Amino acid sequence: MSGATAVRPGGWWALTLIVLVYIQSFVDRTILSALGEPIRRDLGLGDAQLGLLGGLAFALTYSLLGVPAAFLSERMPRRTLIAIAILIWSAMTMACGLATGFLSLLVLRAGVGIGEAGFTPPAHALVSDFFPPQRRALALALFSAAIPLGVLVAAIGGGWLAHATDWRHAFLVVGAPGLILGPLLYLTMREPRRGEAEGAAPAPPARPAEVLRRFARARSAVPLIVAGALASVPSYALYTFGVSFFVRVHELGLVAATTAFGIVVAGGQLIGMIVGGRLTDRLGRTRPRAILLVPAVALTLGALFQAAAWWQGGIVACLTLLAFGTMAGAAFLGPSYAALHGLLAPHMRASGMSLVLLVHALIGFGFGPPLIGWVSDRVADDRFGGGFAASCRGALGHGAPPLPPTCADASAAGITAALIVAAAFGLVAAAGFALAARSYPHDLARAA
């Protein structure tokens, strides 16, 4: 393999560590997928409140602090910043087990976002400094594969822990591995030179205005960034409400629901991300536009499969369609990140990706779950004939009996309708990627 396409020394070990940390990040981020129902019943919460805990509480601090953290990472060793960030979010995750109510849990979830803000943008930059452009889509797909693996661990591990103990102890256990991963990464990962994989000369850290000008010059940048944000709405809605759907609609126990959810969703997304990355690496060598057309086609298929899954009355048909839906719906991640990296100079990738992730987090994670939770509550109230919250939420609480049938039916109808609305965001995202593909080859040539 020629030097121009070779992975830089220590690249595969660095990617392994970064993937392990990203898995831990998503375990701590999406643990509410497994613990949502026990928390909802114990604290007497509605789906809109659950959406705030699973989305906006984390997304606001994560996205807003991610920008200054990324600019800081271009002025200090990135492994140092990441190690500190891991320790912060792990401690805050463990502290969630001490929450006494909705507000205290909301504040602690925001604290998890503070810590995770220091990881993702510098991690993107590190991957690009170890892997050259010709091998970057696959590397970023492997990096993104940590998302479904984290979801798998959070769902199955969280479900079993909540069943064996309670949701409070589950938070304590899942946060603990980060206290080991932080020092391990700091002590064993090499800090590459910025732009090392491309042989770029050292450059001064990027200024915010410089990054914004780079995006402004590329006609494909805005539709590409917005499309990526909208494409993440179905996934974050699924992470927040997927287990609840199987408990309420298909009447699975918590362990069965988290196991089915974890295997099907994580397995589908893992395959989709890797296949999407490999396919894009192969097609993108001669057809730059394919980097964005692959996500457009995949997201269209993913939205149709997911919407069909939520309509199914049988559990086998639902899980089968959901597996195909999550597989197709996740194929956009590696290609979309690789496309964005191609528009940014090496010295501005951390700061540039922080701005991208700010939009993605605010729309996909911050706006998505609360909106889907609100839709669920509204549809449930309409199905119940009004007064759902007063009549049915009062039946929740620690040690409460199962919901009355009328409440259970309304709750199931609400969450089904809400997840179908979430799937529709994938179609809008597909149109955005197709629009961005029209001007992307020209923008890529200008950025070179």
Give the residue with greater pLDDT, 390 vs 343. 343
pLDDT digits (tens, 9 = 90+) for 100-154: 889 999 999 999 988 888 898 888 888 888 888 777 777 877 888 888 888 889 8
Length of the chain: 448
Q: How confident is the model at residue 13 (pLDDT cuts 50, 70, 90)?
A: very high
Q: Cα 323 vs. chain centroid, distance in angstroms?
A: 17
Residue 198 lies in a domain: no
Cβ 200 vs Cβ 429: under 8 Å:
no
Query: How high is the pLDDT of residue 194?
Result: 72
CB 342 within 8 A of CB 437: no
Examine the pLDDT at 372 and tell me if it is beyond 80.
Answer: yes
Tokens in use for 412?
């199931």
At residue 205, the pLDDT reads 66
* CATH code of the domain covering residue 327: 1.20.1250.20
> Which of 182-193 are b and which e, b meaning 16 or more Cβ less than 10 Å from the residue's Cβ?
beebbeebeebe
Enclosing domain of residue 287 = 9-191+206-447
pLDDT digits (tens, 9 = 90+) for 71-83: 787 788 889 999 9
The predicted structure's pLDDT at residue 388 = 81
Report d(CA 74, CA 78) in Å as an integer.
8
Q: Report the number of distinct structural domains present in the chain.
A: 1
Of 1-15, 117-131, 161-175, 245-259, minimum mean pLDDT range: 1-15
Is residue 269 assigned to a domain? Answer: yes
What H or E segment, with its residue span, contains residue 183? helix 178-188
Q: Picking from 36-40, 212-216, 348-352, which range would have the lowest pLDDT averaged per residue?
A: 348-352
197 inside domain: no
Q: What is the rounded distance in angstroms from the CA atom of residue 315 to the CA atom of residue 233?
A: 23
Residue 438 and residue 218: Cα distance in Å, rounded? 12
More confident residue, 231 or 286: 231
Instruction: Identify which of 242, 271, 273, 274 has the alpha carbon closest to the alpha carbon of residue 259.
Output: 242
Of 20-29, 58-67, 327-336, 345-354, minimum mean pLDDT range: 345-354
271: in domain: yes
4 in a structural domain: no
Residue 418 lies in a domain: yes
Please state, in angstroms and rounded to a whole number, the distance separating the CA atoms of residues 141 and 144: 5
In this prediction, residue 398 carries a pLDDT of 44
Query: Whole-angstrom Cα distance, residue 105 to residue 350?
Result: 30
pLDDT band at 231, cuts 50/70/90? very high
Q: What is the DSSP string of 105-121?
A: HHHHHHHHHHHHTTTHH
The 10s digit of each residue's pLDDT in 381-417 is 898 888 887 777 654 444 455 667 888 889 899 999 9
The answer to whether residue 200 is domain-embedded is no
Q: Looking at residue 397, what is its pLDDT?
A: 43
> Using CA atoms, how far apart are residues 116 and 241, in angstroms rounded to an integer?
22
Give the closest residue to 408 by CA, choosing from 36, 35, 41, 32: 41
Q: Is residue 334 part of a domain?
A: yes
